Structure 1
Amino acid sequence: MVIKINEIISLLTTRIPLGNWVEALVDFIINNFQGVLDGFSALIGFIVSSVETVLAFPNPFVLIAIFALIAWKLKGYKLAIFVVLGLGLVHNIEMWDPLVVTLASIITSVLVALILGIPIGILKAHNKYIDYITRPILDFMQTIPPFVYLIPALMFFGLGNVSGVIATVVFAIAPPIRLTYLGIKQVDEELKEAGHAFGANWWQILFKIELPGAMPSIMMGINQCIMLSLSMVVIAAMIGAGGLGQPVLRSLNMVDIGLGFEAGLGIVIIAMVLDRMFGRDS
């Protein structure tokens, strides 16, 4: 009996080589799917560079005017004035070029996260098995420290903006999935039954009843996705991603308070602009 107890204690105290298993899995993916990873990296890199080229092509004041016009159409003249003053200040303190790189990375990250996240949220709302499978995965993704995302991104895609975008997508994709799911689940069942009574098929109910009813929740998911993407700006700079995170990281290394404040102010301004433009409140 004593021997069995000692064996059980020995079994319970044996260290599980979880880290070695994960490392072996990463090595397996790199060795067997390098072509797929390179192709995906090239696609993300092309999208980021294309968006950056489009944003950098016009004169900065023209781009500020475009953003101000969009803000005026979406939320009114007060936000348009704030956009002009805020982005004008960023240009004045010579943080415009890093701002453009940051915007390109954020736009790419948010687009990829929404393209993947909203359909997954729809499937999650209509299939209980997908809901059960994705729930612990999303819990894990939302609680793990964001720095951990940098390790596989760096190993799979190397240094640069692509790794930063991939890490940002993984970090920011959970809110669109969960809020799309929540919005569809909150749509009144009587509306769906009325759609069925009038002979609407699954697609018609989805696009004419469920998605319009879930739109406030989906927009909140988009807003949260943008904010989480911005929160990764400085973190992604640690693996070579450009933008406003680079001067923040450089100021930390050099203890340059002025540079850190200016770069941080640029991040705050773009965060406030995007939050006001795509949030529910003006």
Structure 2
Amino acid sequence: MSDKSWLTEIPQLDRYQLLEIRKTLDGAYRSFSREYGDNIEAFFDPLLSFLIWFEKLLLGTPWWIVIGVLAGFAFMASRSWKLTVGVVVAFTLIGVFGMWDNTMRTMSIILVSTMVAIGVGIPIGIAMARSNRVQSVVTPMLDIMQTMPAFVYLIPVVMLLGIGKIPGVIAVVIYAVPPVIRLTNLGIRLVDEEVLEAATAYGASPMQRLFGVQIPLAMPNIMAGINQTIMMALAMVVIASMIGVKGLGQPVLKSITNQYFTLGLLNGLAIVALAIIFDRISQGYAKRTQQHLGGR
């Protein structure tokens, strides 16, 4: 009986060919980073300046003012006294256990990353909703962004920009932006065609239909996307600490490497508290928006 195992074998490149391909790609990326790295860093300088200013603002403001502002924002968004009291208690405990500065640093990078993700994600989601061709191009990219391990796309970011705040923001945005893009696209596509036809019959232009009808009606879905973006950004805190982002992630990373159980537990609980607070605030605002659209 003849050996037909060759029929099931997958043709493979030999070791030399693989080595040459890797060397070519690595060399091309190094050349790109050397030639354009400084220009890319200069492009992100305004964002870095804003992030540093915002972090200093949170760190320099008295704790009771920060807690008061956060509690007021929570109440305005949700109209819930329970959530407002929970915000006050959670941040007071964070301060009592000595995690205030790291929490403010984490909040600064999470809020800035979320704003960048919203600023990038909502326009892309709108473009996807208005064009099937754009959707067919962007959807595979979103699939890759959501399934690619975070450590993999940290490599080119660090090679290009080094370690620090901006690489951390970029990594967080790449990881966290897909939900707001997808749900913005979904929300706008779910708007009833009859509503759009009625708006057109009243003489609304395409831009008036978008900003006056589609986006308001899609707002619950958009807010759900923003909520998920915030949650995913917080999930990146520990990983971002590996490339020099200061905050609650660094003590957690330190506790992992040195087996400091209590240090990791307390800082991990602080991250959980931030996640729950942001989740409840964004959900409360989304519910209020939905009730307003429903006429209640």
TM-score computed with the length of structure 1 as normaliser: 0.92
What are the within-5 Å matches in structure 2 for residues 63-78 of structure 1?
A: 63-75=66-78, 76-78=80-82
CA contact (8 A) 1:149 1:171 kept: no
Q: Tell me the matched-pair count.
A: 276
What are the within-5 Å matches in structure 2 for residues 128-277 of structure 1?
A: 128-277=132-281
Deviates more, 1:42-51 or 1:132-141: 42-51
Residue of 52, 57, 70 corresponding to 1:54: 57
- Tell me the CA shift for residue 29 of structure 1: 2.7
Per-residue CA deviations over 1:48-72 (Å, capped at 9, x if unaligned) read 1121122123211210111111112
What are the within-5 Å matches in structure 2 for residues 47-126 of structure 1?
A: 47-75=50-78, 76-126=80-130
Equivalent-residue separation in structure 2 for 1:25 and 1:226 (angstroms):
35
CA contact (8 A) 2:74 2:83 kept: yes
CA contact (8 A) 2:220 2:287 kept: no
Structure 2 CA distance for partners of 1:178 and 1:243, relative to 1, 3 Å: same
Identity of aligned residues (%): 38
Structure 2: gaps of 5 or more residues: 1-5, 289-296
CA contact (8 A) 1:106 1:230 kept: yes
Per-residue CA deviations over 1:72-106 (Å, capped at 9, x if unaligned) read 22221000010011111000000000001000100
Task: Give the aligned residue type for 1:189.
Answer: E
- For the residue of structure 1 that corresponds to 2:11, the secondary structure is helix
TM-score computed with the length of structure 2 as normaliser: 0.88
Equivalent-residue separation in structure 2 for 1:128 and 1:22 (angstroms):
33
- Tell me the CA shift for residue 147 of structure 1: 1.6
Equivalent-residue separation in structure 2 for 1:54 and 1:200 (angstroms):
43
What's the counterpart of residue 41 of structure 2? 38
Equivalent-residue separation in structure 1 for 2:200 and 2:122 (angstroms):
23
Equivalent-residue separation in structure 2 for 1:19 and 1:180 (angstroms):
38
Structure 1: gaps of 5 or more residues: 1-5
